[in-house]
Amino acid sequence: MAHDERRLQVLRAIVQDFVSTNDPVGSKALAERHDLGVSPATIRNDMAVLEEQGYITQPHTSAGRVPTDKGYRLFVDRLSAVKPLSPAERRAIERFLDGAVDLHDVLGRTVRLLAQLTHQVAVVQYPTLSRSAVRHLEVVQLTGSRLLLVLITDTGRVEQRVVDCPVDVSRDDVSDLRATLNAAFTGARLADAGSKVPDLVETAPEHLRALVAAVSAALVETLVEPGEDRLVIGGTANLARVALDPGSLRPLLEALEEQVVVLKLISEVDSSGAVLVRIGEENAHEALAGASVVSVGYGTGDRALGGLGIVGPTRMDYPGNMAAVRAVARYVGQLLAGS
């Protein structure tokens, strides 16, 4: 109905003004700043209905209103479009990320860029090994009977294991082992590669069988039991700019430091490219009850390799931040696809 759409416009105006000023918003200010096409008295009535429905609330010290978590949620759900980044912002993303030399550099640059674009805390998850594929397996001889097994994934992630062999190994055996491993595993997804190990031991050339058996445990450990997922976090100092009360700031900082809670939220992404927004208590963890998390998956093709996003106060520029998170994720995915 028409009045429902008008109240949504009033809510949008309240959100926009409160995000930009951090001051509670009154009906007079709305009438002056926005062309809502109705009188201040009608705006007051609409605000009363919005307050009754739980979309806005009145701080004790002010006659103005501020959005609630429910109000922010309706605002985000009813965005007609996420505002696109300007050509200058897109060029800045490309220039900033193009100079990266390896995966660690890509992710480090990504959090710095996201923090600068959004003025929030930026978070990027390392590509999840189980979603990655084997690009190459390298074998390096450290001593006569000690080898270094190096797994390189298609996302540029590197895992290393030292293997102690029961006997000294010749240079030719190392070369043959390297060729055998790459023939068996190159291109295989890590989630599937572990099941290939038993067959590899049985079908390996006779002179390599003992050697393959020796490295098989390291292979299983590397492929099936990858190291704990990690986050790269940047822009934590941006929280100092926000008017968060100390009671909500401390648990948020602790959650960022411990990473487990934030990692769980950031990793819950899919390959659709949809931007996920969790507002306040939707985060289901009390440390983030006063914060919002905006996240999206990044990856190659239709495969999400990990998540990236921002964490900040519920009073944030949702359209702008959603656009920035999505644009950066797309470019990181392109970089990794071409790496």
Report the alpha-carbon distance of residue 243 to residue 22 in Å, rounded. Answer: 8
Give the pLDDT score at 277: 93
Does pTM surpass 0.85?
no
Burial class for 15, CB neighbours closer than 10 Å (0-12, 13-18, 19+): buried
* φ and ψ at residue 249, rounded to 5 degrees: -70, -45
Q: Which residue has the tokens 């487990």?
A: 260
Query: Angle CA(261)–CA(264)–CA(268) in degrees, nearest 5?
Result: 150
Helix H, strand E, coil C: the string for 233-248 is EECHHHHHHCCCCHHH
Q: Dig out the tokens for 290 from the structure.
A: 């006063």
If phi > 0 it is left, if psi is from -120 to 50 it is alpha, else beta; for residue 235 that is left
CB within 8 Å of 327: residues ≥ 6 apart: 85, 89, 90, 93
Q: Is 9 exposed, middle or buried (0-12, 13-18, 19+ CB in 10 A)?
A: middle
For the chain, 339 residues long, give each residue's pLDDT as a single digit of tens. 467 888 999 999 999 999 998 889 998 889 888 888 888 889 999 999 999 999 999 987 667 899 999 999 999 998 866 777 888 888 888 888 887 878 888 899 999 999 999 999 999 998 876 677 888 999 999 988 889 999 888 877 788 888 888 778 888 988 998 998 998 888 888 777 777 777 887 888 888 888 888 887 787 777 765 555 688 898 888 887 765 565 667 778 888 877 778 888 887 877 677 899 999 889 878 888 888 999 999 887 777 888 999 999 899 999 999 999 999 998 888 887 765
